[in-house]
Amino acid sequence: MKPIMTFLTGLTLLGAPGCIAAQTAAPAQTATAAIPRSEQPAACPATGAALQVLGSGGPIAEWAGEQGRAGTSYLLWIDGTPRLLIDAGAGSYLRFAEAGGRLADLDAILLTHLHADHAGDLAGVLNSGGFETRTAPLPIIGPDGAERFPGTSEFLARLLGKEAGAFAYNGGFIDGSENKFRLEPRDITTGAGRAAPAGLDVSNDYSVFAYPVHHGPAPALGYVIEWQGKAVVITGDQSAQSERFAVELAGSKPVILFAHHVINGAEGQPRGLHRTPAQIGELAGALAPQRLVLTHNMQRSLAPIALSLAAIGEGYAGAVTVAADLDCYAF
């Protein structure tokens, strides 16, 4: 299953209504070079599609310069309405509110995998949504299980189950009782990154495809979102062993490739979990996006940014920028 994508001749970077734009001041400095940033206007689009980076950070609580980075999270806007929440890493609960997100408006929540820096704020986001007026069920879609990793359905049961859940008092989300809307969990087969991609029927306005990726022992997914013939790709956390992902999407020419930029190219990095900058460049070269946006950033990956950009450039000659929290990209 390969989505049909259209190559655009230009890219406008905008934000969504209620979004707080990222800083346009001089970019933060590292020990080696300035971090390349995309200019972010003061308002997000009231029409069209945009993907907002709610959290651009990683698994370590880090503060760099004038701002920190929340755990990984994205918000899809369609015509000024938030429609999809992708991941809810630690700290993204606040970013979701800053952006103007509401669970009452969402078609679904998607999870790339169940590490804390991607799902740690899910309970808080759901708890907040319980104070809204939503009545329709809410799909929550994520990977299946493996040793020491529950599948998405089991994860929600452990989190919210009425009898033995960590937050049993919110157990109404499991069955739609106690004035709560009901969650509809769905597990996507991952097969250690070798399973077939799956189409997700969450909206008639846009299409979403889940692509299994390899992320060490953790079952994991990347996502492709298509709207009116244009697409964005979210790699999720993946290693270079995500060979089927690269083959399935080769030559697809998305408007933007959001790559998770967690490690540098030095020895001692967890390469069985993540792509190095050189491997990100190889992936971008294969997919041929108009723009590569590095997110899920850590200080260990940003400090040697000049070396990382050079390594990426060996495989990909297009524009490369680094995301910050609340950046919004139209497509």
Known catalytic membership, residue 117: yes
The tokens describing 312, both together, are 């990426």
| Of 79, 87, 105, 117, catalytic | 117
Question: Cα(70)–Cα(59) distance, rounded to whole angstroms?
Answer: 9
Please, are residues 192 and 220 in contact by the beta-carbon 8 Å criterion? no
Question: How does 244-280 read in b/e, with b if 16+ C-beta sit within 10 Å?
Answer: bbbebbeebbbbbbbbbbbbbbeeeeebebbbbbbbb
- Of 111, 100, 4, nearest to 52 by C-alpha is 100
Place of tokens 């294969």: 286
Question: Cα(322)–Cα(185) distance, rounded to whole angstroms?
Answer: 32
CA dihedral sign of residues 86, 90, 95, 100: positive
Q: 304 - beta bridge partners? A: none
> Which sequence positions are flagged as catalytic?
117
